[in-house]
Structure 1
Amino acid sequence: MDLLNVCVAGATGWTGEAVARAVLDSADLRLRTAVARSAAGADLGAVWGGAELGVPVFSTVDDALDDVDVLIDYTSHTAVGRHVRTAVVRGVGVVVGSSGLSGADYEEIAALAEEHGVGVVASGNFSLTAALAQAAARLAARHLPHWEIVDYASATKPDAPSGTARELAEQLAAVRRPEYAVDPEHTAGHPEARGASIAGTQVHSLRLPGYTLAVEAQFGLPDERLVIRHEAGPSPAPYVAGTLLATRAAAARRGLVRGLDALLLSGD
């Protein structure tokens, strides 16, 4: 069996550590390098407080990509775009687990991936249940013309909307644009109270203590309403299996795949 060499950027972070440990436990994946600026120069096992694993930690993605097949990025919204472009130009596939990239960013990344012959799999949420919720929302949008999105996260989440909410809005826009009885831009009083328009969909982001992550797509018709809601608990466990699935897919593909649900529904 040929092993896929993997680099995890953000391997000391909340999700990144869980994913890196899962790579170590996988028979077909090898954790070759890690990226964490605060631990650069150390062995990842020692950084985690255990025995050395033979996995060097680097301060930059560019330094960590030698003999790497796929980069898994769980860093920050400020760094992810640079990391993805660096890897793709180096001929390394990428799994994008960090939020912060716009539709325009992904258009550029798609072109780069095609040019350099590598696969990029990006998802606002690598939870299998979140992916299925997105697929259900796309189906609903084919039949129900009115919808909005509510995005919930902890008070400390620095970006809004979440990657999950942004991706969902963009996926629904690919089905059609929602209809509004009163265009949000024409709202009397404070139009900003109607939320942000993401790909034509109004998205409302709540940042409060007590939430981890949740996204709702709310669809309405006269005298009835459909709510498709995904919630995640306080551990990173929901995102591990989908990330590993995407890692294997990125190594075997060329070009950009948006959304874990695209992989699940294709059967790949």
Structure 2
Amino acid sequence: MKKVKVIIYGSNGKMGQSLLACLRDNLKMELVGAIASNDTIDSFLPLSDVVIDFTNIESTLPLVEKCLKAKKPLVIGTTGHSKEARSQIIAAAKEIPLVFSPNYSVGVNTLFWLTKKATEILGPEYDSEIIEIHHRFKKDAPSGTARRLAEIIAEVRHLDYEQDAHHGRVGMPGSRKETEIGVHAVRAGDVVGDHTVLLGTQGERLELIHRASSRETFARGALRAAFWACHQQPGLYDMQDVLGLKKN
């Protein structure tokens, strides 16, 4: 089988280093470029089949434009994009296969699926709260994963994330509104990533929890997404598509 040739863009970061380590054991893929976030990717693009982006929000959009011109599939793992940037990324997917997911862990994507099912079953009488914990160096808040969990709840309950998500509480906010989706970001130490979805009503609560102990789980998922993207038609995909969870 011909190996898929991959570029890791953002190879100098923590996720980039994890991707490089995981690639050494991958029999289906080979590295043709390990590019730091601020370095140019142009000379490596013709050598590649797919690009994986774990850089920063300033670098992602220029990369999207370059992948569009070169007609290269792209996997975006960078989070914290503005609404306008997300719109540009979505538009690019009309011309290339583009996987855009807030989290590439198989476990977290199972959490996405479980959150959707639990919200459907329990209904609006169960209050929704999301708590995420990450290391002290994480720049964006809430995490892309926490945002996606809140969006899933909002979609099921026909709410609007921008209007109904409440980030923390302080002072005298009053009684909780039925439409409220609480989102809380904690930063401490070297936590790789913890996410809890709490669904509670009078007399009981359900908690769905995912804890990551190593970035390797995200790296292996991103490589899986990159291999998958090389065999797809142009379109916007996420890790749920890669895992086939949208069929269920």
* Matching residue of 1:87: 67
1:256 to 2:236 alignment: yes
Matching residue of 1:148: 129
1:121 lines up with 2:99 in the alignment: yes
Letter aligned with residue 167 of structure 1:
R
Structure 2 residue runs of 5 or longer lacking an equivalent are none
Report if the CA contact (8 A) 1:127-1:238 is conserved. yes
**Once the two structures are aligned, what percentage of the paired residues are identical?**
30
Task: Tell whether the 8 Å contact from 1:19 to 1:240 is kept in structure 2 after alignment.
Answer: yes
| Mapped partners of 1:67, 1:184: distance in 2 | 46
TM, length-normalised to structure 1: 0.76
In the alignment, the residues of structure 1 paired with residue 115 and residue 203 of structure 2 have an alpha-carbon distance, to the nearest angstrom, of: 19
Aligned to 2:144: 163
Aligned to 2:58: 78
Query: Amino acid of the residue matched to residue 133 of structure 2?
Result: Y
Once residues 243 and 35 of structure 1 are traced to their aligned partners in structure 2, the CA distance between those partners, rounded to angstroms, is 16
Structure 2 equivalent of residue 174 of structure 1: 155
Whole-Å separation in 1 of the counterparts to 2:45 and 2:12:
18
Matches of residues 178-217 of structure 1 in structure 2 within 5 Å? 189=171, 201-209=181-189, 211-217=191-197
Amino acid at match of 1:243: A
RMSD: 2.9
Letter of the aligned partner of 2:100 in structure 1? Answer: A
Question: What is the Cα deviation at residue 60 of structure 1?
Answer: 2.1
Tell me if the contact between 2:133 and 2:187 (Cα under 8 Å) persists in the aligned partners.
Answer: yes
The alpha carbon displacement at 1:12 in A equals 2.5
2:7 match: 7
- 2:28 aligns with 28
Partners of 2:156 and 2:84 in 1: CA distance: 18
* TM-score, normalised relative to structure 2: 0.82
Given the superposition, is the C-alpha separation of residues 222 and 81 from structure 1 closer, same or farther in structure 2, using an over 3 Å criterion? farther
User: Which residue does 2:81 correspond to in 1?
Assistant: 101
**What's the CA shift string for 1:45-91, capped at 9, x where partnerless?**
xxxxxxxxxxxxxx123443223221101112332333234323431
- Asked if the contact 1:88–1:94 (Cα under 8 Å) also holds between the matched residues in 2, the reply is no
The 1:183/1:83 distance shift into structure 2, 3 A limit, reads closer
- TM-aligned CA deviation for residue 206 of structure 1: 1.0
Give 2:112's match in structure 1, choosing from 115, 128, 134. 134
Aligned to 1:43: none
Query: Match for 1:232 among 212, 219, 233?
Result: 212
2:12–2:37 Cα contact (<8 Å) kept = no
Moved more, 136-145 or 165-174: 165-174
Question: CA shift at 1:2, angstroms?
Answer: 2.7
Q: 1:172 to 1:88 in 2, by over 3 A?
A: farther
- Structure 1 residue 9, shift from structure 2 partner: 0.7
